């Protein structure tokens, strides 16, 4: 099968969708499929730095496209010739690639499937404009898809009204990457792993640290990840204002080895995110046996069973969350370890070994539209 995956950012740009698409593409190559990825030619965290127009990573051919615009909206019409040389298109997210290839389908004449990845509702910015676009252009684009793949219960509910052909297939990850993590906990070390983006609400984690300091807790916070220009500086300024700069470490971008080392030391993994399509960073933490204390949002509720595989909290209430964090940090080591193992077992269900066949089935059915696909 000759597949073209389309996502606005791809390796070496790092993020949840990038990780997911790269792992899916590489596994499809290993299964004998011919796979190409089309993405934009720069990372939004490094504007102005152009990536190579063509590259092969992990056996996957990558074509990087020149574009105009930025994270909120972009245009890369050079994708059209690439679409014509594939049998099937897999579009990741609801952005220019989806709308443009839906509108130009009479020209490229290729079926496509689309993975929702949360769409464009990660923040409240431009909410009315987003809702209008959702009811009009996105509705049209979804109607042209051979199948819409919702990667969470929240996305299935949101996009179900637009997509006449929708199937839920949760995101997957390589859980075995974390089998080598041996927990050597540094007491009180809280780890955040992910982008320093607005919807991740890292500012609330700093508010939490200020509350923990007021309560006399020696807890420390390690922040792993990159942000767009200005985001990191704003967080450092906030940490200084809250008098917690000495308790917060900004690790920047870390490689695979660094991530595993950080998880081995972490007492807890934390996230105050207000919106996630799946919560890949939290899932990775759980796969390492690290107990999460995370925001009470739909994506996290799918992963975290309160008091069984972790804890949910309202991070907009720093005193209440601080009390919960202190309580979890004081749990007996054997109880925390057992909860970490329960978290690890929960995430095993989302391993690629279990999820990859669903994608291959979807591709086969998209190329044989007469065969009905179970929802």
pLDDT digits (tens, 9 = 90+) for 287-308: 999 999 999 999 999 999 999 9
Q: 196 and 70, same structural domain?
A: no
Residue 374 lies in a domain: no
For residue 277, the model assigns a pLDDT of 83
Residue 343 lies in a domain: yes
For residue 161, the model assigns a pLDDT of 87
Q: 324 and 343, same structural domain?
A: yes
Q: 126 and 185, same structural domain?
A: no
Domain that holds residue 162: 2-172+351-367
For residue 198, the model assigns a pLDDT of 85
Q: Is 94 exposed, middle or buried (0-12, 13-18, 19+ CB in 10 A)?
A: buried
210: number of Cβ within 10 Å: 18
For residue 278, the model assigns a pLDDT of 87
Q: How far is CA 27 from the centre of its chain?
A: 18
For residue 136, the model assigns a pLDDT of 95
Taking the C-alpha atoms of residue 104 and residue 100, their distance in angstroms, rounded to an integer, is 6
CB 59 within 8 A of CB 30: yes
Q: 117 and 68, same structural domain?
A: yes
* Helix axis angle, 202-214 to 318-329, nearest 10°: 70
* Helix axis angle, 16-30 to 352-367, nearest 10°: 70
Q: 285 and 361, same structural domain?
A: no
CATH number where 62 lies: 3.40.50.2000
All residues at 6 or more sequence positions from 29 whose CB lies less than 8 Å from its CB, including other chains: 35, 58, 59, 60
Q: In the numeric block, which tokens belong to residue 216?
A: 């006399």
Give start and end residues of each alpha helix (H) in 180-269: 202-214, 231-241, 256-265
Q: 193 and 281, same structural domain?
A: yes
Residue 154 lies in a domain: yes
Omega before 375 within 30 of 0, i.e. cis = no
Q: In the numeric block, which tokens belong to residue 311?
A: 């804890």
Q: 188 and 164, same structural domain?
A: no
Q: 357 and 344, same structural domain?
A: no
CA dihedral 263, 11, 170, 290 (to 10 degrees): 0
Q: 343 and 203, same structural domain?
A: yes
For residue 369, the model assigns a pLDDT of 66
Q: 132 and 66, same structural domain?
A: yes
Low-confidence spans in the chain with pLDDT less than 50 = 373-375
Taking the C-alpha atoms of residue 259 and residue 257, their distance in angstroms, rounded to an integer, is 5
Taking the C-alpha atoms of residue 224 and residue 261, their distance in angstroms, rounded to an integer, is 12
Q: 300 and 165, same structural domain?
A: no
Q: 312 and 234, same structural domain?
A: yes
Q: In the numeric block, which tokens belong to residue 162?
A: 């637009």
Half-sphere exposure of 45 (CA within 13 A, CB side): 18
Number of structural domains, the chain?
A: 2
pLDDT digits (tens, 9 = 90+) for 80-122: 999 999 999 999 999 999 999 999 999 999 999 999 998 888 7
CB 4 within 8 A of CB 89: yes
* φ, ψ of residue 61 in degrees (nearest 5): -80, 130
52: number of Cβ within 10 Å: 8
Taking the C-alpha atoms of residue 47 and residue 74, their distance in angstroms, rounded to an integer, is 13
């Amino acid at each position: 099968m000759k597949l073209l995956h389309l996502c606005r950012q791809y390796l070496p740009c790092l993020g949840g969708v990038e990780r997911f698409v790269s792992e899916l593409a590489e596994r499809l190559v290993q299964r004998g499929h011919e796979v190409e990825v089309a993405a934009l030619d720069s990372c939004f965290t490094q504007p102005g730095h152009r990536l190579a127009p063509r590259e092969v990573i992990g056996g996957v051919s990558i074509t990087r496209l020149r574009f105009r615009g930025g994270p909120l909206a972009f245009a890369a019409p050079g994708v059209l010739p690439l679409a014509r040389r594939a049998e099937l298109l897999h579009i990741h997210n609801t952005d220019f690639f989806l709308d443009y290839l839906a509108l130009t389908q009479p020209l490229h004449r290729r079926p496509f499937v689309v993975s929702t990845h949360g769409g464009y509702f990660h923040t409240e910015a431009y909410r009315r404009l987003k809702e209008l676009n959702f009811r009009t252009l996105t509705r049209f684009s979804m109607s042209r898809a051979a199948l819409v793949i919702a990667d969470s219960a929240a996305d299935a509910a949101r996009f179900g009204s637009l997509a006449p052909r929708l199937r839920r297939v949760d995101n997957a990850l390589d859980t075995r990457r974390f089998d080598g993590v041996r927990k050597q906990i540094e007491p009180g070390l809280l780890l955040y792993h992910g982008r320093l983006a607005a919807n991740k609400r890292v500012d609330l984690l700093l508010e939490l640290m200020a509350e923990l300091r007021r309560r006399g807790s020696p807890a420390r916070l390690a922040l792993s990840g990159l942000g767009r220009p200005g985001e990191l500086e704003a967080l450092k300024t906030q940490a200084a204002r809250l008098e917690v700069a000495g308790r917060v470490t900004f690790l920047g971008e870390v490689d695979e080895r660094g991530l595993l080392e950080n998880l081995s030391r972490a007492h807890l993994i934390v996230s105050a995110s207000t919106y996630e399509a799946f919560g890949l960073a939290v899932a990775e933490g759980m796969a390492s046996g690290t107990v999460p204390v995370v925001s009470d949002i739909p994506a996290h509720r799918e992963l975290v069973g309160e008091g069984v595989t972790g804890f949910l909290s309202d991070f907009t209430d720093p005193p209440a969350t601080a009390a919960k964090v202190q309580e979890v940090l004081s749990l007996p080591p054997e109880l925390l370890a057992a909860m970490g193992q329960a978290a690890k077992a929960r995430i095993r269900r989302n391993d690629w070994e279990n999820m990859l066949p669903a994608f291959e089935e979807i591709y086969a059915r998209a190329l044989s539209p007469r065969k009905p696909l179970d929802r």
